[in-house]
Amino acid sequence: MGFTCGIVGLPNVGKSTIFNALTAASAEVANYPFCTIEPNIGVVNVPDERLGLLSDIIKPEKVTPTVLQFLDVAGLVKNASKGEGLGNQFLGHIRNVDAIAHVVRCFNGESVTHVNGSVDPERDVDIVNTELILADLESLERRVAKTERLVKTGSKEMVEALEVYRKVTEALNDGRMARTLKFEREALEVFRDLRLLTAKPSFYVANVEEKSLDTGGEHLKVLVRKAEKEGVSVVVICGELEAEIAQLPESEREAFKRDFGIEESGLERLIRIGYEILDLITFFTTVSSELKAWTVPRDTPAPSAAGRIHSDMERGFIRAEVIFYRDFLDCGSEHAARERGLLRSEGREYIVQDGDVIHFRFNV
């Protein structure tokens, strides 16, 4: 798995249209609020040209890319925490995702109604962010009440946890997202265990009209200014255009993109931003005639990377035999890389690098 991404936003901003385009799935798309009730789930392969280049040399029987999973949940409205619309209970579906893509409407489109009567990216963002904050406060309230009871039993550990909870609660009540907070060591683990929505790395997906892809309309400029203040990335996508691309045969997509001057698809841009904000890298393995891509956080030690494949490999880790993929391509084979001294034997302290081709040696 590359990473999991939850998709949030107001109703009728194009969430399901973009979900369908990115995953070539068949989520219901309609011009009325709340057409998404149960979460739509889609899994897509992560494009990586290095897999193709390595495959041309290795000639594996099977090539397995890493994948990205999307979860599209129902649109939020103002006062969702009080039961408006469909409420906010469905947000529980995305508490375990790695990142959140917040889709924001940056097109007018009179044929598509806006739940608030007009398009205003800054207002719309604030509504959704407020509802995420309120959902986290509701979750924290229950956790604090339980912890306060445990503190009375004399648990020092619970006293420290309660300090973290109160710091987070104060920030949320001030309208700050939990991801802006900093913690050290033990407190950081307590914080992570809360699985707060506002603590997750997030980015905005600006759904624009086709004509705004190059020039950027006024709505997009408003969103970009807000995102810059928050230190959040923006991915610009034309949902309708991406939907057209998704419906084309694979062989026609590149030509279509060239005709419209599109260098990267929306999926490629979204994946790139996701990998950046989560600080992820990809390494490759070639075992049993299968070339496979794996995703891990940057600075992952070799044993932990092996454990990504199977826990036994981490437990019985001996060494990692590593060739950087560019060296592999230049040499043309593992044997040639070994002959030229470009295959390295690395121990437990080795930090896996983006693009490494690794064979793990282990014994259990």
| Rounded CA separation 114/13 (Å) | 8
- Please tell me the distance from the alpha carbon of residue 167 to that of residue 199, in angstroms, as a whole number: 13
Please check whether residue 225 is in contact with residue 194, taking contact to mean a CB–CB distance below 8 angstroms. no
Position 31 scores a pLDDT of: 43
Strand-by-strand arrangement of the 3-8 sheet = 40-45, 67-72, 3-8, 99-105, 202-207, 233-237
pLDDT of residue 32: 40
pLDDT tens, residue by residue, 83-123: 554 545 667 778 889 999 999 999 887 666 566 668 899 99
Q: What is the pTM of this model?
A: 0.86
Q: Can you give the pLDDT at residue 361?
A: 95
| Count of Cβ atoms closer than 10 Å to residue 185 Cβ | 7
Identity of the amino acid at 6: G
In sequence order, the β-bridge partners of residue 43 are 69
Q: What is the pLDDT of residue 243?
A: 83
Please report the DSSP string for 58-127 in residue order.
H--SEEE--EEEEEE-PPP-TTGGGT-TT-SGGGGGGTT-SEEEEEEE----TTS--TTSS--HHHHHHH
What was the pLDDT predicted at 25?
44
pLDDT at 119 (0 to 100): 85
**Residue 260 gets which letter from DSSP?**
T
What was the pLDDT predicted at 352?
A: 98
Q: Which residues of the chain register pLDDT less than 50?
A: 25-36, 85, 87
What pLDDT score was predicted for residue 21? Answer: 82
Strands 317-324 and 290-297: unpaired
Rounded CA-CA distance 334/308 in Å is 23
Query: Strands of 280-287's sheet, edge to edge?
Result: 62-64, 290-297, 280-287, 356-362, 317-324, 344-346
| Angle (nearest 5°) at CA 243 between 241 and 245 | 75
- Selection from 81, 86, 111, 62 nearest residue 289 by Cα: 62
Q: Which of 203, 13, 215, 36 is nearest to 119 (CA)?
A: 13
What pLDDT is recorded for position 88?
A: 58
pLDDT (0 to 100) of residue 23: 80
